[in-house]
Structure 1
Amino acid sequence: MHDITFDGRGELPEPGGEAEVLLDARARVAAWGPGAERLLGHPAREVLGRRADALLHDPADAADLARWWEEGLRRGTVALRRRDGQPLRAEVWARPLTSADGARQWLVQAVGTETFRIYEYGRALLKGLFTDTPFHIDLFDTRLRFIGQNLTERRAGVFRESEYSGHTMREMAPPGLLDFDALELRQRQVLESGEALIDTEVEGHPVPGSPREYVWSESILPLRDPSGAVIALGHVVSDVTQQVRARERLMLANEAGTRIGTSLDLWQTARELTEVAVDRFADVCQVDLLDSVFAEDEPAEDEQPRSPRLRRAASGGTPEEPGPDGGTGDGTVRVGDLDTAATAPGSPFLDALTKGTSVLLTDDDERLRTRPGVVCPPPSPDGGPEVHSWLLVPMLARGVALGTAVFMRSRSPRRFEPDDVLLAEQIVTRTAVCVDNASRYHRERTTARTLRRSLLPQRLPSPSAVRTASRYLPASEHTGLGGDWFDVIPVSGARVALVVGDVVGHGLQSAVTMGRLRGAVRTLADLDLSPVEVLTHLDDQLNRFLDERGDEVSLVTGATCLYAVYDPVSRRCQLARAGHPPPAVVSADGGVSFVDLPGGPPLGLGGVVFEEREITLGDGDLLVLYTDGLLESRSQDFETGLRRMREVLARTSASAAPQQVCDTLVRELLPPGHQDDVAVLVARMTGLAPDSHVTWEIEAQDMMVGRARELTARQMAAWGLAEESFTTELIVSELLTNALRYGGEPITLRLIRDQSLICEVSDASSTSPHVRRAQETDEGGRGLYLITRLTQNWGTRYGERGKTIWAEQPLPR
């Protein structure tokens, strides 16, 4: 029963927006609320005392309403009459009342149908929020005490059946649920500022001791009274653990894509995987690679080693201090060592490599609980947390096993989940591609270096006439191959040939052409040809190379070359060049000059006539040969490079070693980020001492052969080589006999004592003798054959007038 209080005008107090009317037992209006006036437009004075059926649009509905109320129906939909005569559909409630004097009354409440729908929606919303929603909703007063929770919060089992109202979160929530100090700080911030905090991510453990971490999205909303004052706080909390974990995995996968594979170094790539994984994905990460990955041969796709050898390539998350046995102090494998435990019988590593599938072990798995060394490192001596989740992912690329990656969690309470396994496989697959690229690059670079070693001299000869040093820098660090080359070739008569060349282009094709040209130069040098003749033959050779290539002719269109021959006896140097930069000469007194040598066109044009120059080099003079990559670049023309080179050589000490001169030129002249190959060859000239060689003019008389033998014997004794005199006399006798019989005057005999004993006989004839096997009936023809048996080398070289036949004998140690 309700007690109704009337004012003097018979109006009801403001009921919060609903239309309220009090009817007496005869259905006359006894009280008229302000809401009724707003709803129908009638003021109280017009309706007080009138029958209620006058307010109906159809008065006949009054009998039905009375019957419904008598039958206990308290709600219905009727059409009311507004003051302007228009009908108004409304929901009507009726409550029976008894007045103070015992008279029967009815409290009638009405709401417009549209307004009623809004009320219904609001009630449905409240019901959904507090009963059916998956969100956790809490209400707190201004003292941060609970004043309400929705059913979701209770069903979650966080607060059980305890009475939470009037208590703070700190008092009621399980320990470790979240950071209560941070929560109260956020609540006070909203109370003081009146501004909501939306979508704050909070981590915690809803169940104490649970290994699973949760992440909630928390929004704190200020609740206000009609005056606008904050009277309470509303908390809306939802579980966003999966979304956050998915976002973290996506960020980690993206970071792995940018941080792994920044170089083509195998060790660096493996280390980058551990750097990405440790702390954000795992507490420990170890990467083992098969030894075949480091090999120079390409692994076969269908070849799986029976006893694979895994080598530790990187390790993160554990200290690796060397132990007394060469391993690590805690028993783990050091980077660079073989991981023998990983390939022990029963190891999951072998199974993963064979099947290509990941292996996930948790602390309830026998293999992890027993902690064999094959799976986990032994516990740390300081009592650190043990590994409770272990993930092994095989590293595969192009169907070939490359190694394994192991991820372990110990400090983090979270175990690896299926989504973590997928993420690890994605990252390891990315790493496998990079490792495969690095391995192939390693093999290709090794092959390129082997090819370069075979094409370029790795150790220059050491003739007594010159001291040489060289530097070679390819334009491509990837292949290490280019078209520039240099060489030092000892030739007859203690002379030395110096050559520098440059094939147009870079890479394998240019390197192959360069190798063929270098081989041709060596062959031509052995024929004792002059520099001009060497370049002419090279020009023909390059044209043949280009014709053989056919469609590839555009890859290599020409080459340049500088060829010089230094004679330490006369101290003269003959030079010729084909489109190559001029050599520099640094005299013993520090003067610098460039040889005035006709440039000539590059090799490969055909039908070209080259020119030759002869210069005299004193003892200690430097001859500097180089390719244009040392001086010319996009930012510097060739003339500027020559001027800078002159300045650098002028500052270099005259007594500097050839290698020091090479290094200085490269360091000070090489443009940064050079785009061309560079070759530098520096030679310090030293003539033979006057007492190390002797020359005689021989008259064209047979009797002079005996005289020559006497002179030879006397000189051999002076050199302390009396024991070798007989052989030398025999060689002199045979060579002079040939010259006297088949040659022409003038005839000279020269003996040179250098690293070997050289005997030279020159005459004016260009007819070259040939070695043949004489028949038993032949009276002659055995001389040159005898010489080939007595000497280590012999040959013929031609000059402007005549020829020289020479023979070398090894000197005793």
Structure 2
Amino acid sequence: MSTDGSTGSSAEEWAAVKPGDVLAVFDADKAVAVWTEAAERLWGYSSDQVLHSPAKGLLSPGAPEVARVFAGSPWSGRVRIRCCDGREASADLRVTPLDADGAGWLVWRPSVFGRPGFDQGAGDALFHHSPISLVIWDRELRCVWFNDSVHNQNIYTSEMELGGYVTDVIRAPHPEFLERAMERVFRDGVPLVGYELWPTGARVPDRYYHVALIRLDGADGRPLGVCSVAVPASIGQQGGRLRLLNEAKSRIGTDLDPLVTSQRLAETAVPNLADYVTIDLVQAVPLDKEPLRRLKSTGTSIPGFYRAAAASIHDDLRESLWARGTPVYVPPASPFTTVLKNRRSYFEPVLDTSPGTWLDNDPDRAQVIRQTGMHSLMIVPLQARGATLGIAVFVRSQNPVPFSRADLALAEELAARAALIIDNALRYTRERTTALAIQRALMPHHLSGGSTVEVATRYLPADTHAGVGGDWLDVIQLSDARVALVVGDVIGHGINAAVTMGRLRATTRALSKLELPPVELLRLTDELAVDIARDCSEGGTSTPSAFGATCLYGVYDPKSQRCTMSSAGHPPPAIVFPDGSVDFVEVPPGAPVGVGLGSFESTEVELPDSSVIALYSDGLIEMDHDIDRGLQRLRTALASPFSSLNNLCTSVVDTLAPDGPVDDDITLLLARTHPAADY
């Protein structure tokens, strides 16, 4: 087509349209129906200013080309336009009728097409003869442009037209999944590559498509819509599998909760690989559940697994007979038990539901299979470090294409990756539960300062990958109504840290009964910790870090209203005075106990009646890895008005601790001095 006002065929015009060139769509009444960012830049009008207004107002009134623009046939040339600021400008435009009846016009600008050196045949091949279909959807997911290739792909309706909503023009069993994917791409801006789409009524494996979704952004960064690119499976099949593996790699393994990991595996495989996926483990992952061996069998089934995860193309999980965290019953002779025993995958691309199969002994499952149309099945063992953790079940129902051997290989790859993470999660869960049990058993269950001080405490164990730490606290009543206050933090996490905590707490409690000054008590604790470490190490060599811990030990004397404190590398205590002011006590920080240096100093601070002593572990002040900022936040929290010591304790932890998981144990001990009595 020339640019001197000559016309050409509608097919040629459509073949030449490039998505980035589209300016506007005029409806049958010659009003603006679609207005793009490119049109805003050319004319200066926003979409709110021109939508549904007469299109002729965009052209110079005296321009002779006005009549040609709406003549009903394709037109191309230079035209005078009227901009938002009132000035006139020249622009090269092309106008293409949407159909022969004048139902509307597409207005666009030529770009590379027609430029010297560009092969027009290449453009025609891409937009007219290519097996790749291109469709542009606006912000409301309505079609605003497509190339001719959509007519050669049976995933679109036979009468594809502009303005059609995505679920109305896509021919697939579940077009709402593509709708959700488009909404996510438009919202997040992250392209989706390799989405698999099966046309309604497809019967052979090569009659499906890989669809890529890409958000289209304007020059100002605002999203304009979504572009979908559909490629026949024979062209893009390998890329889709690699994309699924990459997605699994990024999603599976970011959490050490076995239930979360299992659920992410199931959700990754739906709907691109299967319509329904379950992950069933051979042990009770929720550790408070009843063990499988104590569950009773039914007349036809045994409790073989626990349901860890389930995902489906149906939001109501209509395929699932068992909820997550509950026992899964299977027939003694079934593919599920066979996979568990033989540790090899079970592959049934066309599920046999006729009489005489294993389903005869599983009537409930057979009924669900018939109701939901399940027709293809894969059962893959979850194996890691020589152990079988459970099974992953993949099913197709709405997707009419049977599973292939390539699908089985992909499922086994996904299961192998997930099994290793699940095994790590199970090991972590067991160790954390054991460490918590030890921690709770060795921590005091009831603390009292007698008539001398009122106490309130809080302890939050770490719940991230590092595991439970070795924080402890103690309140010990001494002679003459004196009270010892202790907070410590063992270096490290896990079971060893919890056991070390118990030993050090017992040591400080025993030494406190000797009425030792804080400096002397920490010195002896340091020596004993080194001895314990030497006894436990191989070859009798000392390994101080094995029993290293920070500790702050203080003794409050109500007669003198003074508190003497010594620190073994622990954060400074805070004092809340009766007037509401907060100060941190400058206690000389010695080395942690267990290092063997044994050099400590003490500080004495005077405390008026109703003062509050705050001892804590570093987990409370190192949320953002900035100790100074953490101390300032603690000062602000302690200075807040409070009705009771318990309320203040809760308020401080809620203010400083994050809503999500914590990386380190959090320990807080508050002690409020009572008015002096006669001693």
Give the TM-score, by structure 1 length.
Answer: 0.48
User: Are the equivalent residues in 2 in contact too, given 1:286–1:316 (CA < 8 A)?
Assistant: yes
Describe the superposition over 1:572-608 as per-residue Cα deviations: whole angstroms up to 9, x where unpaired: 5444444545433323332434457666665455564
Verify: 1:350 aligned to 2:342, yes or no. Answer: no
Distance (whole Å) between structure 1 residues aligned to residue 484 and residue 653 of structure 2? 22
Partner of 2:521: 534
Pairwise CA distance, 1:204? 9.0
Verify: 1:393 aligned to 2:380, yes or no. Answer: yes
**Alpha-carbon distance change, 337 to 606 in structure 1, aligned in 2, over 3 angstroms:** closer
Describe the superposition over 1:650-686 as per-residue Cα deviations: whole angstroms up to 9, x where unpaired: x322644245246426734999999876543111222
Q: 1:480 aligns with which of 456, 467, 477?
A: 467
| Partner AA of 2:408 in structure 1 | V
Pairwise CA distance, 1:375? 4.4
Q: 2:326 aligns with which of 318, 337, 344?
A: 337
In structure 1, the residue corresponding to 2:368 is in which secondary structure?
coil
| Partner AA of 2:505 in structure 1 | R
What are the residue-to-residue correspondences of 1:422-461 with 2, within 5 Å? 422-461=409-448
Pairwise CA distance, 1:521? 0.6
Verify: 1:260 aligned to 2:252, yes or no. Answer: yes
User: Are the equivalent residues in 2 in contact too, given 1:288–1:314 (CA < 8 A)?
Assistant: yes
Pairwise CA distance, 1:312? 1.5
Pairwise CA distance, 1:537? 2.1
Q: 2:543 aligns with which of 550, 553, 557?
A: 553
Which blocks of at least 5 consecutive residues in structure 1 are unaligned? Answer: 1-143, 145-172, 184-200, 218-238, 300-304, 322-327, 694-813
Verify: 1:652 aligned to 2:647, yes or no. Answer: no
In structure 2, the residue corresponding to 1:423 is in which secondary structure?
helix
Partner of 2:552: 562
User: Are the equivalent residues in 2 in contact too, given 1:506–1:677 (CA < 8 A)?
Assistant: no
Pairwise CA distance, 1:522? 0.8
Pairwise CA distance, 1:465? 3.3
Distance (whole Å) between structure 2 residues aligned to residue 279 and residue 181 of structure 1? 27
Higher relative contact order (CA 8 A, sep 6+): 2
Distance (whole Å) between structure 2 residues aligned to residue 621 and residue 278 of structure 1? 60
Distance (whole Å) between structure 1 residues aligned to residue 341 and residue 364 of structure 2? 17
Q: 1:419 aligns with which of 406, 426, 432?
A: 406
Verify: 1:491 aligned to 2:478, yes or no. Answer: yes
| Partner AA of 1:440 in structure 2 | R
Partner of 1:285: 277
Partner of 1:317: 312
Describe the superposition over 1:174-228 as per-residue Cα deviations: whole angstroms up to 9, x where unpaired: x989976679xxxxxxxxxxxxxxxxx99999xx9773143499xxxxxxxxxxx
In structure 2, the residue corresponding to 1:353 is in which secondary structure?
helix
Distance (whole Å) between structure 2 residues aligned to residue 463 and residue 516 of structure 1? 25
**Alpha-carbon distance change, 428 to 682 in structure 1, aligned in 2, over 3 angstroms:** same
In structure 2, the residue corresponding to 1:555 is in which secondary structure?
helix
Pairwise CA distance, 1:329? 8.0
| Partner AA of 2:272 in structure 1 | R
Partner of 1:523: 510
Distance (whole Å) between structure 1 residues aligned to residue 242 and residue 430 of structure 2? 34
310-319 or 505-514, larger mean C-alpha shift: 505-514
For this pair of structures, how many residues does the alignment match?
459
Root-mean-square deviation (CA, aligned residues, Å) is 4.7
| Partner AA of 1:394 in structure 2 | P
Distance (whole Å) between structure 2 residues aligned to residue 592 and residue 642 of structure 1? 11
In structure 2, the residue corresponding to 1:565 is in which secondary structure?
strand
Distance (whole Å) between structure 1 residues aligned to residue 527 and residue 549 of structure 2? 12
User: Are the equivalent residues in 2 in contact too, given 1:486–1:499 (CA < 8 A)?
Assistant: yes
Q: 2:578 aligns with which of 579, 588, 592?
A: 588
**Alpha-carbon distance change, 248 to 541 in structure 1, aligned in 2, over 3 angstroms:** same
In structure 2, the residue corresponding to 1:564 is in which secondary structure?
strand
User: Are the equivalent residues in 2 in contact too, given 1:580–1:599 (CA < 8 A)?
Assistant: yes
In structure 2, the residue corresponding to 1:498 is in which secondary structure?
strand
User: Are the equivalent residues in 1 in contact too, given 2:576–2:611 (CA < 8 A)?
Assistant: yes
Q: Which has the larger radius of gyration?
A: 1
What are the residue-to-residue correspondences of 1:638-717 with 2, within 5 Å? 645-649=634-638, 651-653=639-641, 655-661=643-649, 663-664=651-652, 667-668=655-656, 679-687=667-675
What are the residue-to-residue correspondences of 1:34-73 with 2, within 5 Å? none
| Partner AA of 1:613 in structure 2 | E
In structure 2, the residue corresponding to 1:442 is in which secondary structure?
helix
| Partner AA of 2:342 in structure 1 | K
User: Are the equivalent residues in 2 in contact too, given 1:590–1:654 (CA < 8 A)?
Assistant: no
**Alpha-carbon distance change, 179 to 450 in structure 1, aligned in 2, over 3 angstroms:** same
Pairwise CA distance, 1:503? 4.7
User: Are the equivalent residues in 1 in contact too, given 2:467–2:493 (CA < 8 A)?
Assistant: no
Distance (whole Å) between structure 1 residues aligned to residue 677 and residue 414 of structure 2? 71
**Alpha-carbon distance change, 634 to 647 in structure 1, aligned in 2, over 3 angstroms:** closer
User: Are the equivalent residues in 2 in contact too, given 1:645–1:665 (CA < 8 A)?
Assistant: no
Distance (whole Å) between structure 2 residues aligned to residue 339 and residue 241 of structure 1? 36
Distance (whole Å) between structure 2 residues aligned to residue 671 and residue 386 of structure 1? 43
Distance (whole Å) between structure 1 residues aligned to residue 341 and residue 351 of structure 2? 25
| Partner AA of 1:529 in structure 2 | L
In structure 2, the residue corresponding to 1:522 is in which secondary structure?
helix
In structure 1, the residue corresponding to 2:406 is in which secondary structure?
helix
Pairwise CA distance, 1:644? 5.8
Describe the superposition over 1:115-146 as per-residue Cα deviations: whole angstroms up to 9, x where unpaired: xxxxxxxxxxxxxxxxxxxxxxxxxxxxx9xx
Describe the superposition over 1:712-753 as per-residue Cα deviations: whole angstroms up to 9, x where unpaired: xxxxxxxxxxxxxxxxxxxxxxxxxxxxxxxxxxxxxxxxxx
Distance (whole Å) between structure 2 residues aligned to residue 333 and residue 665 of structure 1? 39
**Alpha-carbon distance change, 242 to 289 in structure 1, aligned in 2, over 3 angstroms:** same
Distance (whole Å) between structure 2 residues aligned to residue 179 and residue 594 of structure 1? 73
| Partner AA of 1:524 in structure 2 | L
Q: 1:211 aligns with which of 197, 203, 212?
A: 203
Distance (whole Å) between structure 1 residues aligned to residue 156 and residue 600 of structure 2? 92
Q: Percent identity?
A: 37
In structure 1, the residue corresponding to 2:413 is in which secondary structure?
helix
User: Are the equivalent residues in 1 in contact too, given 2:202–2:208 (CA < 8 A)?
Assistant: no
Partner of 1:274: 266
Partner of 2:59: none
Describe the superposition over 1:745-796 as per-residue Cα deviations: whole angstroms up to 9, x where unpaired: xxxxxxxxxxxxxxxxxxxxxxxxxxxxxxxxxxxxxxxxxxxxxxxxxxxx
Describe the superposition over 1:348-395 as per-residue Cα deviations: whole angstroms up to 9, x where unpaired: 211111111222332445338869446455268xxx651122222222
| Partner AA of 1:334 in structure 2 | A
**Alpha-carbon distance change, 678 to 552 in structure 1, aligned in 2, over 3 angstroms:** farther
